[in-house]
Structure 1
Amino acid sequence: MYSIRPAEVKDIEAICSFDHLAQQSGQRRAFIERTVKAGNCFVIEAEQQVVGYAVLEYTFYEQGFVSMLYMHPDHRRQGGGSTMMRYLESICRTPKLFTSTNLSNLPMQSLLAKLGYKLCGVIHHLDEGDPELVYVKFLRQGAS
């Protein structure tokens, strides 16, 4: 059983312990610290242990945008990602929720399709050779 809550400063070390990019990149760690302090980061726990995190921001044309969803490798494909995305949908302040993932990230693409997200764009040259796919979900009627 999962529980979700806003991330706190005390969670930063736990998040960084399983996010391999946070271990390698000061930029990723700074992103985590900034979003936690801004109140945009949420953690998902299993048995009172942080096993994933997500970031919901409103910096994409003032629309809700999930800029990060990351699960501990031992907790992938067990429903935590879906649980987190549904939670973010429930708290999103805008009628549309956007997110993106790399073309190479087939598990995330599958998750988004399962949850009813629609492909709405492609961004080239963020990660050379691995385009970013942009998705949207219409959360409320009249949002399209």
Structure 2
Amino acid sequence: MRAGRDPIVGGIKLSGAYLTHPYFWGSEPIGSEPKTDHDKELPRLVWDFLYPTAKDGIDSPMMNPFVTGAPSLAGLGCGRLLVSVAEKDLLRDRGLKYCEAVKASGFKGEVEAVDFEGEDHAFHIVTFEKESALVLIKRLAAFLNKSR
């Protein structure tokens, strides 16, 4: 978001951005997120630990890009966006919602989502030798090479 708002030193332009299993959360559950004790889920606990003084807490636009008053996603400072999510990841629905919100924002670039069935958060790091991890790495490589 900053790259879309403020010039990068040296006039560098970002051709693309990649979010793998994006770590977004908020006070209101969406999709398949737990409806009870939502504030006790790990994403909330981690956010409170990492940034206990965040204005608006879990609904800071840094953690919840969907809150009222968050910067417009049309201002992303890149021309392409790739987001990967995993079926069993608690954060999956927010990652997919993010892609839809970017598309609906008026963002002029390309937006792609990749969803890995049967996998969990950061599966490609934990079990990097699995076929699904190799597919994800190849997908990312294709995304990076597309900008050349």
TM-score (norm 2): 0.29
TM-score (norm 1): 0.30
Structure with the greater alpha carbon radius of gyration: 2
Larger % of strand: which? 1
Higher RCO structure (Cα 8 Å, ≥6 apart): 2
